[in-house]
Amino acid sequence: MKSMSREEHIVRTVSQIQDPMSRRVFMQLAAAAGISLPMGTALGMRANQAFAAPTGKAATCVATLANDYWAAFIKGFKATSSALKIDQVELYHDNDAAREISQVRGLPTQGVNMLINTVVAAGEVPMIAKLCQENSVYYSAIWEIPAWFTPSDVGDYFVSYMTANSVEAGYQVGKELFKSIGGEGEVVHIKGLATPTDDARTAGMMKAAAEFPGIKVVGGLRGDWVREKARTVMLSMVTAYPNMKAVFAQNDSMALGALSVLKERNLTNVKIAGIDGLSEGLQEVAKGGQFVATNTSLAPYQAGFAAVMLFDALNGWKPTLAERLLYTGSLTATGETAASIDEKVYKGAELPFDFAKMSRTLNPDNWDPQNNIYPIDPFTQWAGQEGQDKLNAAYGDAAKWKAEFDAVTKLYADHYKSGPFK
């Protein structure tokens, strides 16, 4: 039998490496040693046989397209799917937990191997993550998760939990609203659904209120994130608090609903603020009138960055512990900045992000998140909440965790080279 040459042996070896990143490193080492591999091998091909790269099919499972935030989110998801050349499926649970679970159970029959999901309530995340782990579906949870529960509690297929920093958003928007009324007076508070995100936004707003002794926060009824429900709440509030000076709504959809009531009642002196930074909200803020501020969590970006992380995990990348809980950057928009943010994020024919450039596997050396991304410290995120004893043992070595937290913070800051708000 004819013995194999060194080159033939290397070609055979590289064709047997399943992990894309390991295969790439092997090929780089071979090149450094002066060994030229056939183009077919460089593309992951066996001699006379194609080496099948993972076929990507991603799904989103969110509440409804009737909410402007999720419409913007889906726009980012579609753009990313196109950039990464993966198939995509859109699912809507309409805030029905049973429907949501059924949709997740059905993912394998649709050939889906990646899922981006915002749950109806945080308590569903462990079940959905477990279903994804059992069915080899890479999973990213957005916005909601139970306190002290982390991806490490499930396994490698639960890649990440990501959210905007809702405490900071509530704090920054609250300050702008309170300043707009001279730092004193009654401020009607309209909450969303009872979720950790809603609680965090409330905490941020109350933190801001503590800096303005003349502010009295009243109301606190729930608009469930929905414009029409917020209208109903606002109709009762104008009767209950005729001396109100401002309204703090926990998202833009509710703020816009409340604003419509204020305009109908000719209460044009009452200021209002929201969170989410939807195009319509940004346009109102840009007018410099009643709607004084919002915070944009960049919905298209959130969807796109989550999809990229799942794509990279599918292709062999493994996140570190600190990369499995992440904040995605957001911006507070005022009358001076709202029009510019709206133009960059929503008005262009294309979104202002190069989603393929975010990928670690497509760009191992020069990947760029194009936004401010930084890890979540569970000890800070859930401080004071019950259940800390349930936190995964992976976080148990405080010195090791601190070092990794700092390293990941620096890593993402160093790679953040471009983007519409750089």
d(CA 293, CA 176): 6
Q: What percent of the chain has pLDDT over 90?
A: 82
Query: Does 171 fall in a domain?
Result: yes
pLDDT of residue 31: 52
Claim to verify: residue 173 and residue 283 sit in the same structural domain: yes
Query: Does 329 fall in a domain?
Result: yes
Claim to verify: residue 334 and residue 264 sit in the same structural domain: no
Claim to verify: residue 194 and residue 343 sit in the same structural domain: no
47 vs 403, higher pLDDT: 403
Claim to verify: residue 357 and residue 273 sit in the same structural domain: no
Q: What would the mean pLDDT of 366-373 be, rounded to a whole number?
A: 98
Is the pLDDT confidence value at 19 over 80? Answer: no
pLDDT of residue 40: 40
Ordered alpha helix ranges (H), 343-383: 378-381
Which residues neighbour 115 within 8 Å (Cβ) at sequence distance 6 or greater?
58, 59, 60, 61, 104, 107, 128, 132, 137, 138, 139, 140, 310
* Residue that is last in its domain, among 269, 296, 323: 296
* Residue that is last in its domain, among 271, 296, 321: 296
Query: Does 40 fall in a domain?
Result: no
Which range of 2-6, 225-229, 308-312 scores highest in mean pLDDT? It is 308-312
Claim to verify: residue 302 and residue 292 sit in the same structural domain: no
Query: Does 248 fall in a domain?
Result: yes
The CA distances from residue 151 to 21, 140, 148, 270, 310, in Å, are 22, 9, 10, 44, 13
Structural domain total, the chain? 2
| Closest among 356, 397, 310, 283 to 113, alpha carbons compared | 310
Residue-wise pLDDT for 230-279, tens only, equals 999 999 999 999 999 999 999 999 999 999 999 999 999 999 999 999 89
Claim to verify: residue 263 and residue 210 sit in the same structural domain: yes
Is the pLDDT confidence value at 285 over 80? Answer: yes
Residue-wise pLDDT for 78-101, tens only, equals 999 999 999 999 999 999 999 999
d(CA 357, CA 413): 15
pLDDT of residue 41: 43
pLDDT of residue 24: 53
Between β-strands 331-333 and 373-375, what pairing exists: parallel, antiparallel or unpaired?
Answer: unpaired
Is the pLDDT confidence value at 1 over 90? Answer: no
Domain of residue 320, residue span: 57-164+298-415
How far, in whole angstroms, is CA 218 from its chain's centroid? 30
Query: Does 388 fall in a domain?
Result: yes
Claim to verify: residue 183 and residue 249 sit in the same structural domain: yes
Query: What's phi and psi for 321, nearest 5 deg?
Result: -55, -45
The encoded tokens of residue 214 equal 């003349």
Query: Does 44 fall in a domain?
Result: no
pLDDT of residue 49: 38
Claim to verify: residue 223 and residue 319 sit in the same structural domain: no
- CATH number for position 268: 3.40.50.2300
Query: Does 420 fall in a domain?
Result: no
| DSSP code string of 26-38 | HHHHHHHTTPPPP
Report the chain's mean pLDDT, rounded to a whole number: 90
Of the listed ranges 1-5, 368-372, 392-396, the one predicted with least confidence: 1-5
pLDDT of residue 35: 53
pLDDT of residue 9: 52
Claim to verify: residue 319 and residue 247 sit in the same structural domain: no
Query: Does 50 fall in a domain?
Result: no
Residue-wise pLDDT for 118-156, tens only, equals 999 999 999 999 999 999 999 999 999 999 999 999 999
Q: What would the mean pLDDT of 398-418 be, rounded to a whole number?
A: 97
Claim to verify: residue 271 and residue 313 sit in the same structural domain: no
pTM of the model: 0.83
Residue-wise pLDDT for 189-231, tens only, equals 999 999 999 999 999 999 999 999 999 999 999 999 999 999 9
pLDDT of residue 46: 38
- Please report how the helices 125-134 and 97-105 are oriented relative to each other, as an axis angle in degrees rounded to 10: 10
pLDDT of residue 68: 77
* Residue that is last in its domain, among 262, 281, 296: 296
Claim to verify: residue 292 and residue 323 sit in the same structural domain: no
Claim to verify: residue 137 and residue 178 sit in the same structural domain: no
pLDDT band at 347 (very low <50, low <70, confident <90, very high): confident
Percentages of the chain per state (helix, strand, coil), in multiples of 5 = 45, 15, 35
Is the pLDDT confidence value at 166 over 60? Answer: yes
